[in-house]
Amino acid sequence: MKFMDLSLKIVFMKTFLTTFFMALLSAISFTQTIDFSQVNGVNMQRKSKWTQNSSGVTIIDVCWENPGNFGSERAWVEQAVKATWGEAANIEFRGWGTCGYGSKGIRIRIKDGHPHCKGLGTQIDGMPDGMELNFTFRNFQCGYNLEQCIKFIAVHEFGHALGLAHEHNRDDCLCGEEPQGGGGGWFVTPCDPNSVMNYCNPNWNNLGQLSGYDRKGIQTIYGQKTVPKKRQPEERKKPATSTLTITDVLGKDQVWENIYLDFGGAVQTFHVNSQMTEDKKSFTVSEAGYYNYKVYSSTTYSNWSTYNGYGEGRVYLDVGKNYVLGLVIKGWNSDGGYYNLGLE
Residue 60: which residues within 8 A CB-CB, separation 6 or more?
50, 91, 92, 93, 94, 105, 106, 161
Instruction: Please tell me the pTM assigned to this model.
Output: 0.54
**Tens of pLDDT, residues 15-65:** 444 444 334 333 323 233 334 333 334 556 667 889 999 989 999 999 999
Which residues belong to CATH 3.40.390.10 in the chain? 36-222
Which residues belong to CATH 2.60.40 in the chain? 242-343
| 36-222 homologous superfamily | Collagenase (Catalytic Domain) (3.40.390.10)
pLDDT bin (cut points 50, 70, 90) of residue 14 is very low
* Average of per-residue pLDDT across 141-158: 94
For 46-60, 65-79, 318-332, which range has the lowest pLDDT when averaged over its residues? 318-332
Higher pLDDT, 270 or 336: 270
For domain 242-343, the question of CATH label 2.60.40 is answered with: yes
CB-based contact 34:78 (threshold 8 Å): no
pLDDT value of residue 30: 29
Distance between CA 90 and CA 196 in Å, rounded? 19
pLDDT value of residue 3: 34
pLDDT bin (cut points 50, 70, 90) of residue 122 is very high
pLDDT value of residue 41: 44
Which residues are 153's β-sheet partners?
none
* DSSP character at residue 164: B
pLDDT value of residue 205: 86
pLDDT value of residue 233: 60
Torsion of CA 251, 257, 258, 259, to 10 degrees: -20
Distance between CA 199 and CA 169 in Å, rounded? 9
* pLDDT tops 90 at residue 157: yes
Angle at 283 between CA 309 and CA 60, to 5 degrees: 95
pLDDT value of residue 42: 53
